[in-house]
Chains A and B, each alone.
Chain A
Amino acid sequence: MSKAGDWRNYKRVLLPPVKDLHKLDVYEANDGYSALREILTTDKWNPTSVTDEVKKSGLKGRGGAGFPTGLKWSFMPPVDPDVPRYLCCNGDESEPGTFKDRQLLEYNPHSVFEGMLIASYAMSIKTGFLYIRGEFADWITHMEAELEKAYEKGYVGKNIMGSDFSCDIVIHKGAGAYICGEESSLMNSLEGKRAYPRIKPPFPAQKGVWGYPTTINNVETPACAPLIIRNGGDWYAGIGAEAHPGPVLYGISGHVNRPGVYEYPTGMLITDLVNEVAGGMRGGKKLKAIVPGGSSTPVLRADMIDGVTMDADSLREAGSMMGTSGMLIMDEDTDMVSFLRRITHFYHHESCGQCTPCREGTGWLENILTRIDEGEGNLRDLDLLMDLCSQMEGRTVCALADAAAWPVRYTIDRFRDEFEAKCKPSLVASGVDLATA
């Protein structure tokens, strides 16, 4: 059952229907920077109460892992005036199937700035880095222009709104590397190093950028902060699925009639999103499968999505994950083998090459899937693929190896017939261990 309530009458809050909201004056006229003003000018708020309010809202990170935001903020160590601390806002959106951040950055950039400032206030941070992938060059130019206006108005910079809170925002431009979306590799990228993920612990809150305490949030996450401050944590917690509340930017792509970014509460039925929101399947075709939250989240067959809603719990139960809520919809004609081959190519291309299992494993996966896709594979290759997934999962510094292995594991698991149909029969039956046979 849908957990999104009366979603057909849902009033958008992250991207409200306001013309030119990206312009500072329009943003201001629509309560823009009022949450920040309230925090800085009224006694009601201090860093702890802001964090508590965010905790109360139940906001979970929108980058993929879904970690409770307020809790993450509270991991920062006590303030030491001699030790700088940083906020990193992750706009390196590059998980295939994910395209929501770009729209948010274009249409409501000031909500991201305001959210970053609120987060910085809550954690007593004086510099926030906004990391945007290099491909979004046009959007970076656009954001920089808006940021400059916010500086001119005194919303960012020294003694914001006359208070003793000062905070700078620095926009950092990436240059083409999926791995930079991984938080620790994003930190190395910011530091001007090759973007290799770092081993944890130490966690960013202890030792982040340049070794200083750091918190990293997806851009959509702080964009929720002004809403939470303005309307209260309880209001936010009341939107959508109880255990995973809030408005979400769903990115729907693939074989639907109206692909695009939609703002709705969490807990939407997948079927509602596909059939009603996105206008149903293109050309009247039948739904075959969906990937619910970016390429690394396990694919769901059409028969697995009945009653499944877009929130962490429901998707976990269904055998997948919420991820980035970038949903790919596939129709009945989709060739799952080719599809998987292309995903595997992506991870092979994007592996940073630091850890052995990922550097070597991603290429091996692509090799085998290419062979199968070209009709040269055999049934034992499917066993080998599963084996390689087990050899990669959980064995590397970051989760890219897992992200590469999961689609392979689940796509084969859930569409095995199609893979077998493309394979040549093997002399040895699948599932037989040659060593003991």
Chain B
Amino acid sequence: MPTITIDNQTFEFEGQQGLLQFCLDNGVDLPHFCYHPAMSAPANCRQCLVEVGMPQRDRATGEVNTDDEGNPVIQFMPKLQTSCSMQMSDGMVVKTHRSSELVKRAQKDTLEFLLINHPLDCPICDQAGHCPLQNQAYKHGPEGSRFEFEKVHKPKHIDLGPRVVLDGERCINCTRCVRFTREVSNSDQLTIIERGVKNYPMTPPGVDFDEPYSMNVIDICPVGALTSKEHRFKARIWEMSKTASISTVGAKGSNCYYWVKDNQIMKVTPRTNMDVNEFWLADEERLAYSTFNENRPEGPTVEGAPVSWEMAWKAAADCLKGVEGSRILFLGSAWATVEDNYLLAKMADALGAPAPVYLPHVEKGHGDGWLQTDDRAPNAQGCERLGIHATSPEAIKARLEAGEVDVLYVMEDDPVASGVCSASDMSGIKVVLHHYNTTNQTLEAADVAIPAATAVETVGTFVNVDGHAQRLRPAKAIAGVNRTLSMEIGKCRADRHGTPFDKWYNESNLVNCQPGWVALPAVAAEIGLEMNYKGPKQIMEEVSSSNPAFSGATYSAMGELGVRLESTGVTA
């Protein structure tokens, strides 16, 4: 197998590989700004320079020349090479800043150049704290500046489009954003304009940078030149915790991080998963964050009046008790997790009711073959695999109108909004509703309303449109649950490095709600049904071992990147 030596350490490698990526993959922290694994490498930032040598070969024989000790003689290229554009080859010898003074010097020099026209406004920059340029400057940059002239002034706080703001002075012209629109999203909305030191990225006049993936340029911008209009100045990176989870806006299940401050989701950023969303996230997936913060219920209600959780469980159970199973309609949900839908199906089965059905949330034409899907709900596949099949508002309406239903048990959905019927049309039946938001239109008809933990507050599993089973992790705490005991919540830097006196964490904005895997067993217990699980992990173990459509989908196997399930031939 071909080998390469990097700072006196020899690695084996296979196939065609770029040197920079290989270094990064193998723990050699080469600084870089313009390189991005998903795009072409223009080698323009010049930060990833290294020394590269090849074994010297005899011109006549083609044999590798060796020194007195039999080691190959290495001939280094006269100039430093950009590792991002360098393809690896057998016998290559590389010296990075860890072993070469020359490389160290070059990196420092480039950094000095990058900083002369940079405004150095880190204290008011959203990128501060997770800025590659800032990190490099701290690690390797010059302490003062030798540049004693007026910096170049460029346009600042310009709305490139509805969601992305440009600060031209911070830009280091890495062209990642331009390449993104040219090579990844193909929107061709951005270009570098002008020339030389006047360069900066811009849309042509009359064009808004409004493509559905525009906010990705904010993530890939290695400085604070492109920031989120929505998130600007809202929170510093170190004030937020970040939790690895998945997006719930569509059926793609794009991997993401939820960023939380004071129990509010502040922003959503992509998390790399080459099997699902690669490096990207659609704008709609980021902008949905406010639904987790706003219009949240404040505890359960019965007939519109606030009650204790115990009263709520009992009231829900009372609705179900003594009703013939066939006259109960259990509505599962493509918004709810596999675990919660599974428990619902179990409850239906125990009560002799027909298997739950769910209302699909499909918007034809919304899908783009990339991260946006026609299906606007995250778990239709999971429902189908559980045997919970799609129904239509019309079919439900027909059953209600025919008087076949005495109790409608709704799991985290909103049949009124789906057009089943109006809330007043439900006055003749008992309605139990697990809901996320007070904007739920079925709420008006609910006899018992149980606030449900949303995807950012619960533990569970979604199966995406391609059959990829992935875990949800709680990004923010809910009322009544000790945050530190709920082990899955991500921690912020202050959690890890601060002291208890820092008061980075507070109890504000705790929503008084419960996840389905708490609520359903509680209701079941009041009816007298056995539904004892230690938690969602155990539920999923039961699902994956008993249902072949979920074979292998245990929490440990799904980990952070999920598991691709066998195709069942069933499509949502």
Contact = CB atoms under 8 A, between A and B. Distances in A.
B566 to A, nearest CB: 41
Nearest to A401: B46
Contacts of B197: 348, 351, 353, 359-360, 362-363
Contact of B110 (A362, A367, A395): A395
Contacts of B79: 394-395
A359 B44 CA distance: 10
B42 A357 contact: no
B46 A353 contact: no
Contacts of B110: 356-357, 391, 395
Interface in B43-59: 43-47, 49
Contacts of A354: 42, 44, 173
A165 interface: no
Nearest to A347: B196
Interface in A189-244: 194, 196, 199
Interface string A322-361: 0000000000000000000000000011111111110111
Given A359-B173, A384-B146, A396-B46, A353 B109 contact: no
Contact of B117 (A349, A360, A391): A360
A393 to B, nearest CB: 9
Contact of A357 (B41, B46, B198): B46
B42 A351 contact: no
B113 A353 contact: no
Nearest to A179: B195
A391 B44 contact: no
B85 interface: yes
A430 B56 CA distance: 42
Contacts of A349: 196
B80 A360 contact: no
A355 B42 CA distance: 9
A364 B149 CA distance: 8
A391 B116 contact: no
Contact of B106 (A359, A360, A395): A395
Contact of B152 (A194, A351, A363, A394): A363
Interface size class of B (residues with CB under 8 A): 35 or more
Contacts of B198: 353
Interface residues of A, number: 29
Contact of B109 (A351, A367, A395): A395
B192 interface: yes
A81 B163 CA distance: 49
A397 interface: yes
A412 interface: no
B169 interface: no
B172 interface: yes
B199 interface: yes
Nearest to A357: B113
B112 interface: yes
B147 interface: yes
Contacts of B195: 177, 351-353
Interface of A: 177, 194, 196, 199, 348-357, 359-364, 367, 371, 384, 390-391, 394-397
Interface of B: 41-47, 49, 78-80, 82, 85, 106, 109-110, 112-114, 116-117, 146-147, 149, 152, 172-173, 191-192, 194-199
